[in-house]
């Protein structure tokens, strides 16, 4: 009853806030609806509504839609009726009708279908089972789990729902706590997928970079190339992956994770007495079709084909036929490539291949395979919705001049040295509160990018690249730490861990990584190469684990036999 009361107050507050913002817009217009002043501070209402409503309601879709509506109302002279109509036809329909946007949205849907068919064929499970059989001993089990998390790089939820159920029986036998297993899975799923050049997140990533250019009314350059440039600066993602293997190899833990591992090793209790291990019917979507043989090539062939066709398509759409198949020609082609079309070609081709393989092996009938593919597409509908709304928000803010206004307003108030680190922290807080990386980057990038470009004298230089990386990293931090994030929930489900126990034991590690990443962003903004920052950061994490971590080796834990478990 108390929870329901809090929820009602939250929605009342959200409604009052939105109405207040709409009323506020009316003061900037005369009785005839004509603008009486330049948009100026009014241009901040759209991002303000998106951010504040996200915190109040925890509903990013609602928040972004309300932000677009408010912005459209301002653009149309404060006319709420016109604002509603333009929200629907100009921004929503206009966004979907754009060929670039449509290609990216179709790619995301098709990736969901492709992964669903691959999973039903049992190829990824076969790969995971083969690796699990070679894992013996606590350390080796966790190392194998980590490696599997890196291999299944193209979709974070698929990663959690395949690696978790596959490695869980082996981890249970080795007396690995469910908290530790879910940590390893969660800290590879999101961070790896976010950086993979070919994944379900690529379309979102390059879409957000395009949105960044739109926010300052600048024509986008080679967005796929810019995406690749940001990868070395994604310090949080890289350090989170490194932190896992450091903890595993050193066999040292700290905080609640140490207590969980100590409990599991000494008593065999894989989760706390009051824990509620998460299991869901969602896991069935990743189960192998009944009677399907587990064959590794049912995953290896589609993955290799997917990669090969993507690279070939990137070369072809960039004018590779004219540039030639030389190093210089390939570089030229990749600099002019149509990334949206390329990845769409690849995923459709690979989807067809997966369906043919499934039918040829009699794992599924043609009708069943198509139904599975369509079912997989539906799983990523939320992603499509977020992306469409983020693009619409960016278009509205571009017309309002939000980016230029913020850039001029901030000016030199924030030192360029601290900008990426500060934006990383803000993105962390927002993503943790809302539970979505997509929504966070969709709100933050149009705000952050113009500031970075303004500080660089209007040039899209290294500061802008580092800023994009910082915002996306902050989004990933919240996404894989927040108890309301789908990645966190799926990691708990895949490992059958208690959700809040997983969150509680993972956060100290995530916070440690975040602090080191903040230092990395400051050094990068100062001009230091990531080739220097990355090794320094990994060494720093190893030193921290060595100094504050306690050994979880069985012989060391047994020495503390007098302590209460």
Size of the chain, expressed as the number of residues it contains: 565
Q: Are residues 207 and 299 in the same domain?
A: yes
Q: Please give the residue range of the domain that contains residue 181.
A: 100-239+284-382
Residue 49 lies in a domain: yes
Of 196, 199, 189, which is closest to residue 230 (Cα–Cα)? 196
* Rounded Cα gap, residues 493 and 277, in angstroms: 8
pLDDT band at 22 (very low <50, low <70, confident <90, very high): low
Q: Are residues 93 and 142 in the same domain?
A: no
8 Å CB contact between 273 and 260: no
Q: Which of 382, 417, 435 is where one domain is finished?
A: 382
Burial class of residue 203 (count of CB atoms within 10 Å of its CB; 0-12, 13-18, 19+): buried
For the beta carbon of residue 326, count every other beta carbon within 10 angstroms.
9
pLDDT tens digits, 354-388? 999 999 998 889 999 999 899 888 877 876 887 78
Residue 440 lies in a domain: no
User: What number of helices (H) and strands (E) belong to the chain?
Assistant: 28, 2
Listing DSSP states for 343-404 in one string gives: HHHHHHHHHHHHHHHHHHTTSS-HHHHHHHHHHHHHHTHHHHHHHHHHHHHHHHHHHHTHHH
Residue 258 lies in a domain: no
8 Å CB contact between 242 and 538: yes
Q: Are residues 107 and 91 in the same domain?
A: no
Instruction: State the DSSP code for 91.
Output: I
For the beta carbon of residue 544, count every other beta carbon within 10 angstroms.
18
At residue 531's C-alpha, the angle toward residues 530 and 537, to 5°, is: 70
* Rounded Cα gap, residues 378 and 384, in angstroms: 10
Q: Is the pTM of this model over 0.75?
A: no
Q: CA neighbours within 13 Å on the CB side: how many for 358?
A: 32
pLDDT of residue 516: 96
Q: Are residues 85 and 145 in the same domain?
A: no
pLDDT tens digits, 208-220? 788 778 767 777 6
Q: What is the percent of the chain where pLDDT is above 70?
A: 80
Q: Are residues 198 and 177 in the same domain?
A: yes
Q: Which of 75, 97, 119 is where one domain is finished?
A: 97
- How many domains does the structure of the chain reveal? 2
Residue 290 lies in a domain: yes
pLDDT of residue 27: 53
pLDDT tens digits, 45-97? 787 787 777 667 767 788 888 888 888 888 888 788 888 898 888 888 888 88
Q: Are residues 300 and 183 in the same domain?
A: yes
* Rounded Cα gap, residues 218 and 19, in angstroms: 33
Mean pLDDT lowest among 33-47, 53-67, 289-303? 33-47
pLDDT of residue 537: 96
pLDDT band at 284 (very low <50, low <70, confident <90, very high): very low
* Rounded Cα gap, residues 437 and 294, in angstroms: 34
Q: What number is the average pLDDT over the span 530-556?
A: 92
Of 389, 500, 497, which is closest to residue 436 (Cα–Cα)? 389
Burial class of residue 49 (count of CB atoms within 10 Å of its CB; 0-12, 13-18, 19+): buried
Q: Are residues 61 and 106 in the same domain?
A: no
pLDDT tens digits, 471-511? 999 989 987 787 767 677 777 777 778 878 888 899 999 99
Residue 2 lies in a domain: yes
Listing DSSP states for 43-69 in one string gives: GGHHHHHHHHHHHHH--HHHHHHHHHH
253 sits in which H/E element: strand 252-253
Residue 449 lies in a domain: no
**At residue 257, does pLDDT exceed 60?**
yes
**At residue 528, does pLDDT exceed 70?**
yes
Largest CA distance in the chain: 82
* Rounded Cα gap, residues 293 and 298, in angstroms: 10
Residue 478 lies in a domain: no
Q: Which of 56, 71, 97 is where one domain is finished?
A: 97
Buried/exposed 508-541: b ≥16 CB within 10 Å, e otherwise: bbbebbbebbbebbbbbbeeeebeebbeebbebb
Task: State both tokens at 88.
Answer: 């629907």
pLDDT of residue 280: 44
Residue 517 lies in a domain: no
Q: Are residues 40 and 131 in the same domain?
A: no
Average pLDDT value for the chain: 79
Task: State both tokens at 134.
Answer: 């070679």
Q: Are residues 16 and 162 in the same domain?
A: no
For the beta carbon of residue 357, count every other beta carbon within 10 angstroms.
21
Most confident of 17-21, 446-450, 558-562: 446-450
Q: Are residues 184 and 299 in the same domain?
A: yes
pLDDT tens digits, 393-438? 877 877 887 766 665 665 556 788 888 999 998 888 877 866 667 7
Q: Are residues 347 and 219 in the same domain?
A: yes
Q: Are residues 93 and 117 in the same domain?
A: no
pLDDT of residue 412: 56
pLDDT of residue 31: 46
Query: 535: Cβ–Cβ under 8 A, 6 or more apart, which residues?
Result: none
């Amino acid at each position: 009853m108390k929870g329901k009361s809090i929820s009602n107050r939250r929605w009342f507050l959200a409604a009052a806030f939105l109405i207040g913002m709409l009323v506020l817009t009316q003061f900037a217009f005369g009785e005839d609806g004509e603008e009486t002043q330049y948009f100026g501070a009014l241009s901040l209402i759209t991002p303000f509504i998106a951010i504040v409503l996200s915190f109040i309601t925890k509903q990013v879709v609602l928040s972004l839609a309300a932000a677009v509506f408010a912005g459209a109302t301002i653009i149309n002279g404060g006319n709420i009726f016109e604002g509603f109509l333009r929200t629907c036809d100009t921004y929503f329909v206009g966004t979907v009708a754009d060929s670039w946007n449509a290609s990216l949205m179709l790619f995301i849907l098709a990736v969901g279908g492709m992964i669903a068919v691959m999973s039903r064929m049992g190829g990824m499970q076969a790969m995971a089972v083969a690796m699990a059989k070679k894992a013996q001993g606590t350390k080796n089990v966790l190392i194998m789990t980590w490696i599997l998390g890196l291999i299944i790089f193209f979709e974070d939820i698929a990663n959690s729902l395949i690696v978790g159920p596959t490695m869980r029986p082996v981890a249970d036998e080795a007396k690995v706590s469910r908290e530790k297993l879910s940590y390893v899975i969660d800290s590879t799923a999101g961070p790896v997928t976010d950086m993979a050049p070919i994944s379900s997140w690529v379309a979102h990533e390059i879409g957000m970079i395009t949105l960044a250019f739109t926010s300052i009314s600048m024509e986008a350059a080679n967005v796929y190339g810019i995406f690749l440039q940001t990868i070395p600066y994604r310090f949080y993602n890289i350090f989170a992956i490194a932190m896992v293997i450091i903890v595993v190899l050193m066999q040292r833990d700290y905080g609640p994770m140490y207590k969980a591992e100590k409990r599991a090793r000494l008593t065999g209790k894989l989760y706390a007495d009051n824990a509620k291990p998460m299991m869901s019917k969602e896991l069935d979507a990743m189960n192998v079709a009944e009677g399907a043989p587990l064959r590794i090539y049912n995953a290896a062939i589609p993955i290799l084909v997917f990669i090969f066709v993507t690279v070939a398509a990137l070369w072809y759409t960039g004018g590779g036929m004219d540039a030639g198949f030389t190093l210089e020609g390939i570089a030229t082609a990749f600099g002019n490539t149509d990334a949206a079309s390329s990845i769409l070609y690849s995923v459709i081709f690979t989807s067809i291949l997966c369906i043919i393989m499934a039918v040829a092996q009699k794992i599924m009938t043609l009708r069943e395979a198509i139904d599975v593919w369509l079912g997989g597409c539906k799983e990523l509908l939320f992603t499509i919705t977020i992306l469409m709304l983020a693009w619409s928000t960016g278009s509205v803010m571009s017309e309002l001049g939000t980016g230029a206004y913020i850039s001029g307003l901030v000016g030199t108030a924030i030192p360029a040295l601290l900008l990426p680190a500060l934006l990383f922290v803000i993105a962390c807080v927002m993503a943790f509160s809302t539970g979505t990386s997509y929504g966070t980057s969709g709100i933050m990038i149009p705000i952050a990018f113009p500031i970075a470009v303004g500080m660089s004298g209007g040039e899209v230089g290294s500061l802008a690249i580092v800023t994009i990386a910082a915002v996306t990293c902050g989004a990933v931090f919240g996404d894989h730490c927040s108890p309301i994030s789908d990645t966190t929930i799926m990691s708990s489900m895949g490992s059958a861990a208690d959700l809040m126990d997983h969150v509680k034991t993972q956060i100290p590690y995530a916070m440690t990584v975040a602090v080191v990443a903040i230092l990395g962003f400051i050094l990068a903004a100062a001009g230091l190469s990531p080739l220097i920052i990355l090794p320094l950061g990994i060494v720093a994490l190893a030193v921290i684990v060595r100094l504050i971590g306690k050994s979880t080796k069985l012989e060391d834990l047994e020495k503390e036999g007098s302590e209460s478990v």
